[in-house]
Structure 1
């Protein structure tokens, strides 16, 4: 290994440690606890070292969110492939809700906190596109829709899942009915009929 290779590996490891520490702090104490001063104390790096990797907290938040979207895509992909295609949307919907429940601070970084990441754009990062694509493929697998507007249907279901997640976490829905809500949502799209989108 060359000196440059070793330095790059060390730099990558430092960056990952900063991201992991930020995530751990946020899950334990909330995002308000994640400051450069606190990170510096936790990982024993000076603040200037942290700023070499992330010029602002916004940069760090974007990195956390991207990591979260990669993990979400993996989770949704594993659920989609783990059974018959006709039931893929149901499995993916449950996986989405489980991911949010198991990683509340990470989910907030991805979906609720301010970010500079561009969604639904030609230059959207691959990690953002991957999770959306897993849900889109689950819809294709589970329904008979042939609409060229399947992306719009994916956005609607994505929004519904996020809405259910957010309302449930905020105590705005009755307790213990998450599974029933997903069944009702998915049932509208996997009943064996084609989904027709107005104007398509």
Structure 2
């Protein structure tokens, strides 16, 4: 490995170290209560080191946010092989729930953790990653409308209703609000509730 390649690898390792520490502190303490110095202390480096990679806390949050959404969208890839729009929608819902349950910290950062939306103004488009993910859902819903499997005429409204319902199920589970049903029963309950929601959509959304 040459000097340039080694230095780039070291820079990537440092970025990962910083992002991992920032994610941990943001989730534990909340965005507002975490400072660059706190993150520097966590990794045992000076704040100046972090500023070599990220100009401020907002840019750090954006980097975490972008990484999380990229991972989720990559996991939606299998739906591209499915022909029927309703089957695509069903599989996307299942993949979304699986992502949430297998990546609780990332999901928390993306959809649950309180953080100022201006933290995303590091880019011209506020929450561009969220818009990209929602667009995938909306396109599938539009295809369902076009083929008559969803009766509601407005794809944006229908997609938002579907997303909010599935997100609610994920959030309840991740925040342990379903623990009253018993740990052994929760997974089955979530699966069956999702199936009930899908049947409701098929019958008349």
Shorter-chain TM-score above 0.5: yes
* 1:189 aligned counterpart, secondary structure: helix
Question: Given the superposition, is the C-alpha separation of residues 43 and 172 from structure 1 closer, same or farther in structure 2, using an over 3 Å criterion?
Answer: closer
The residue number in structure 1 matching 2:194 is 182
Match in the other structure for 2:136: 134
Q: Whole-Å Cα distance in 2 between the matches of residues 45 and 93 of structure 1?
A: 41
Q: Answer 1 or 2: which has greater helix percent.
A: 2
Q: Which residue of 2 aligns with 1:115?
A: 116
Could you list the runs of 5+ residues in structure 1 that have no partner in the other structure? 1-5, 196-200
Ranges in structure 2 where 5+ consecutive residues have no aligned partner: 1-5
Contact 2:68 2:106 in 1 (8 A): yes
Equivalence for 2:82:
83
Paired with 1:172 and 1:84, the residues of 2 have a C-alpha distance of: 36
Contact 1:80–1:91 (CA<8 Å) still a contact in 2?
yes
Counterparts of residues 16-55 of structure 1 (less than 5 Å): 16-23=16-23, 25=24, 30-32=27-29, 36-37=36-37, 39-40=39-40, 43=43, 45-55=45-55
Aligned length: 185
Return the TM-score normalized by structure 2: 0.70
Deviation at 1:55, TM superposition (A): 4.1
Name the Cα RMSD after superposition: 3.6
Distance (Å, rounded) in 1 between the aligned partners of 2:125 and 2:152: 24
